[in-house]
Structure 1
């Protein structure tokens, strides 16, 4: 049962309030492996760039974290 939790991972994200198709990763990294932190930063940078581009193209909008906070 524990291995099923580790080997049957799938992801789905919300984009503009709509759920994407399920994403099933085909490769993985071991947590705590020497390359894991670098891969995290590499992927996070790519995701940030894609989100910034989508915002510039008015395909997504920023959110306010609290009343009176700036929206971007």
Structure 2
């Protein structure tokens, strides 16, 4: 239900532009979100949380232990 609601918010978005100070007919947005869309921070948090869970699982299984930057010690996670 949650995914369906988000998909509807994104897929049903339309826009129009001003040409010679007159708005064009509305057209569907093909990609991404509109600038300033209030849904954007929530989608970012969902993606970041998913990445966090995956990284935590990799660390717990010792599949990811850190990496070196230059000659310094490994970066711990």
Scaled by the length of structure 2, what TM-score is found?
A: 0.44
- Structure with the higher fraction of residues in strand conformation: 2
Scaled by the length of structure 1, what TM-score is found?
A: 0.46
Which structure's relative contact order is higher, taking Cα pairs within 8 Å and 6+ residues apart? 1
